[in-house]
Structure 1
């Protein structure tokens, strides 16, 4: 079929999306490939063949094998051992595998082997749903192709397009990009797909979930009929299956079961939390675990902002990551997390696609995922590169059945854990403090203070001197601050009937006065001062009673303003230790 006529105004030759027919059965510039129905459950004859136990057995070129050796890969993963031989024969392929199974190399190795470095035009195209995944995939392909002379160019939104245009014009045999930016280049004429021999869709389910169906169809319809196509998807929803039936020709189906990778090196547990106390429960878990780099998963973008802000108010180095953030801001957050400037990343599932940070020690499901594949993808962010990891899920009683479904699907029991009490957290902190002291004693790093101890020994028992010094050190390290959960638990007051008791994260030491609370609540929440109940201001915290019906309104209003020049933590004061 001839190409669409060149637009005289801008010189573009790509068929505009605005000119496409409205019918769902539309053509995008090339006739549909005539394919047989895809049988997703049928066994593949390739899976019955003996699987390669080394990369040397896969039939790859010497430059690729040299790069593999330099990168330290010893043996192919199951998805690589089954997928590479199929793709090297030229067959279309459906690969079902989760992130972390080595699927990038599974399609990158044959892609590199089949691409001709002597030709400058684009011969291979990889589509990825997010900028992070596109960058990661392009980097992986570049590393594996380091000795082949192939040029790999990533294209994605958030980066100046003129820079990408220059890179494409310089010659790019392999292009990795997001659908939207690929279409931009097609319209501008800076990218041609007529010589593409190999196309891969990575994370096809996420691509469609993000609304890229029309874009993907438009791009695939512009590819030559003779190309080889591979779809990689963790799940097989109907829209993905329909897309495969349309664009794949007699594909081989390779599936790696998720249960093969969910339990190794990852300790899985769950906490059942009282209704409305998930945030307080999360803080207790973090205080008890004292984790390293941690990713907390939330369902919504708003939740990531709320949780990250609440954790920052508690003193944690938490950063949100979600799809509404601009690319520069996302890059900044990821850089801070990778460099250890932020301890906690609070993310949505889509925003976390493509993250590959080996040092993550804990994954916490603040919201239980809707399906098992989402759960597998989340916990796969930890326990990487031979390390161990912890995956924890916070659930309410009504979510038990959903957790049981996940357990049944992954074939593993997720162990229950008890929420730590204030006493548990205090004991944990003292244990850590004791270990730090032991390390100091073993290192003999105290010679300069022995004279002081000897001088005081004439007046006091040496044990008392040591205890006093430890008390001073403890106070300096803890800042005389008490855990918020302890503050709430210690508050034994019960609100009057019809009233809600709110916890305020500052107190008398911050200059807080009753008039400050009354003024802020009246002005920001629009509540009459006469409706405000008892106010108790302590050294570092405060409590105020407001009508039950206005509690959420007051909390939201106070979180958006400042008290005594500070953003403060505000929440319902329900002593968790007293909760049934």
Structure 2
């Protein structure tokens, strides 16, 4: 097995020569021509009999890898002994991943007489206990359910030869540390521990030191860097245009199945609701969903009743959908490994996939560094606009209508009736209209061309060129109401549904404040301010925000004379000339006297 990094496709019996005959036969029957890098690495002579810490990317064949690592040690005369106490325990973070692991081990060990028992939430625990009492060679489960069986005496770990922790980083992130420690503490001291993790943060390293002995570190991340079957793209957008970019990307690609990654369950909930409202067949997966809801969502994707899945990183672990061809990183991954792990949901089993990062323009430099660190050559491009999307729609419609078909008798009869009542042009127009009516409308996005360098690159520049064309707005609070940019900025973001980067200069006068908004988002800002207004209220919703009929320079003249230095403006009662009472939600005035220190 010298060629541990060899790629599938070399039609040779040599890659399986060192494997037990039943495992080699199972791989051949499954269509394997060669082992992946991680599968070859775990059966190298230096790895035999050792504890292992393995870093390998999603879709690299990790389940088969630890199956091969266990099989070489467990199989005697190519058969397993009679099932009694479990010989191997495999722990996975989610129900879906555990079920996937069980299916993989079942076919891999089909010729050895192996019994595989699965213990996961959402299944009948009494049935699982009966299966454990009857005997199993491999027990696969989630930490909580396995711990429950252990404490009830149904799970006997005394004869274990192997413990496998699959996606160990995610199990710790999900709060399963105590469950894992209780399970590991109940295992024999001479058992081998195989730890598989996409990333190796400090908690994983600490876990390995405590429960492993002189573990061999194996990493195949560099061998498979960047996923050759995945085309990476990156689009730069205004922070307020992220959802619009998602809509246009989904419409442009029209993928059979797409997965959208958000950082939090709240963001998953919001984006899912937005897409459903826009007419997309979408489901959501996050920590707030029950197992039954997860099952229904995944079944909808497999049945093609839904084409879009909005998920958090953790909730998507273990999901393997063959039709998934598009991954959109709605929120930037925390690091390069998370980027590759998310993207690895597509581009599997020789199929092509596309991964798109949506990058708010202030964060482009960080994303470029992340891509360089991962050695990913992403294509930077603009978000498809309405014209591009409609052109794609036209091409897809023509391809669909011109594809050869074998009509049924009923279809031929209906076609004849249509031709008898409509001319060819009318019929074609009706088809075009029917096709377009079921598609969500694309969005117009803010033009970021002003944020490009003179040489045409899309890298944002540091001076605020996007504010060359702005409009001034006015608020009816000023210095006399303790107006300060530190609390005005968040207030404007909340009221106008914009980000800090979309608010320009702020000029604070005695009784009013002026600020800039790019003309491109003026209408959107005005509409949001109107929706969040509650005239007469004493909180921030009662502050009047409207277009300014004058520039701050003109208004400054009217606000003179200003109060003498050191004097306190009257902050009680209505301001001179009438108007609303001072805003009471602002910070208190500073105390008189010298500064401390």
- Fold match by TM threshold 0.5: yes
Distance 2:415 2:295 in 1: 46
Distance 1:422 1:552 in 2: 32
What SS does the aligned partner of 1:361 have? strand
Question: Would you say 1:283 and 2:264 are equivalent positions?
Answer: no
- Determine the structure 1 residue equivalent to 2:429: 471
- Determine the structure 2 residue equivalent to 1:237: 201
- Determine the structure 1 residue equivalent to 2:566: none
Distance 1:59 1:362 in 2: 38
Q: State whether residues 226 and 375 of structure 2, in contact with CA within 8 Å, keep that contact through their aligned partners in structure 1.
A: no
Give the TM-score normalised by structure 1.
0.72
Of stretches 316-325 and 424-433 in structure 1, the one that deviates more from structure 2 is: 424-433
**Correspondence list, 1:87-486, <5 A:** 89-115=48-74, 116-258=80-222, 260-439=224-403, 466-479=424-437, 483=441, 485=443
Q: State whether residues 20 and 71 of structure 2, in contact with CA within 8 Å, keep that contact through their aligned partners in structure 1.
A: no
Q: State whether residues 51 and 82 of structure 1, in contact with CA within 8 Å, keep that contact through their aligned partners in structure 2.
A: no
What SS does the aligned partner of 1:249 have? coil
Q: State whether residues 47 and 82 of structure 1, in contact with CA within 8 Å, keep that contact through their aligned partners in structure 2.
A: no
Q: State whether residues 257 and 326 of structure 2, in contact with CA within 8 Å, keep that contact through their aligned partners in structure 1.
A: yes
Cα deviations by residue, 1:248-282 (Å, 9 ceiling, x for unpaired): 11111111124624241211101111121111111
**Correspondence list, 1:77-92, <5 A:** 77-86=36-45, 89-92=48-51
Which of 20, 32, 40 in structure 2 is aligned with 1:73? 32
What SS does the aligned partner of 2:66 have? helix
What SS does the aligned partner of 1:427 have? helix
Of stretches 259-268 and 76-85 in structure 1, the one that deviates more from structure 2 is: 259-268
Distance 1:390 1:181 in 2: 36
Shift of 1:290: 1.5
Q: State whether residues 42 and 66 of structure 2, in contact with CA within 8 Å, keep that contact through their aligned partners in structure 1.
A: yes
Shift of 1:442: 11
Distance 1:49 1:475 in 2: 56
- Determine the structure 1 residue equivalent to 2:529: 548
What are structure 2's unaligned runs of at least 5 residues? 75-79, 448-469, 476-522, 535-597
| Count of residue pairs the alignment pairs up | 455
Distance 2:445 2:317 in 1: 38
Closer/same/farther in 2, CA of residues 440 and 543 from structure 1, 3 Å limit: farther
Shift of 1:228: 1.2
Q: State whether residues 205 and 237 of structure 1, in contact with CA within 8 Å, keep that contact through their aligned partners in structure 2.
A: yes
What SS does the aligned partner of 1:485 have? coil
Q: State whether residues 88 and 114 of structure 1, in contact with CA within 8 Å, keep that contact through their aligned partners in structure 2.
A: no
Cα deviations by residue, 1:307-333 (Å, 9 ceiling, x for unpaired): 111111111110001121111110111
Q: State whether residues 92 and 229 of structure 1, in contact with CA within 8 Å, keep that contact through their aligned partners in structure 2.
A: yes
**Correspondence list, 1:557-576, <5 A:** none
Distance 1:121 1:480 in 2: 57
- Determine the structure 2 residue equivalent to 1:63: 22
Cα deviations by residue, 1:480-509 (Å, 9 ceiling, x for unpaired): 9872626999xxxx999569xxxxxxxxxx
Distance 2:3 2:400 in 1: 56
Closer/same/farther in 2, CA of residues 120 and 55 from structure 1, 3 Å limit: farther
Shift of 1:114: 3.0
Q: State whether residues 295 and 347 of structure 1, in contact with CA within 8 Å, keep that contact through their aligned partners in structure 2.
A: yes
Distance 2:366 2:114 in 1: 47
Shift of 1:551: 3.7
Q: State whether residues 37 and 223 of structure 2, in contact with CA within 8 Å, keep that contact through their aligned partners in structure 1.
A: no
Distance 2:3 2:256 in 1: 43
Shift of 1:72: 1.3
Distance 1:99 1:109 in 2: 18
Distance 1:441 1:544 in 2: 50
